[in-house]
Amino acid sequence: MRQHAKELEEHQDRIIPADFIAKRIKSITQMQGDNHRYLELCYDDKTLVGFLHGKIDRPEHKGFVKAGFGCIMEFFVLPSYRRIL
């Protein structure tokens, strides 16, 4: 996720404070499972190459759309593993 933050910095032309990144990572990892949030790690053999952070909507969630529907909140793949078709 730190690599993802570095890329966001480049796109937004600003520095994201390290403490904010650490808090964000902790928040995402703590919300897994019971909150219907999911962090899926993507590997090429044993090399971590990216992640998907998503959620399934529930009525008690902020931004609720429809129970059982979901969304991808963040998706990242290391640049060296991307392909342009």
pLDDT at 64: 67
Q: How far apart are CA 56 and CA 68, in angstroms?
A: 6
Q: How far apart are CA 39 and CA 77, in angstroms?
A: 14
H-only helix segments in 1-85: 2-12, 18-30
pLDDT at 21: 84
pLDDT at 66: 76
Q: How far apart are CA 21 and CA 6, in angstroms?
A: 10
pLDDT at 46: 93
The rounded average pLDDT for each run of 10 residues, N- to C-terminus, in the chain (85 residues) is 79 84 83 78 91 82 73 88 76
Order across the sheet with 70-77: list the strands: 37-44, 47-56, 70-77
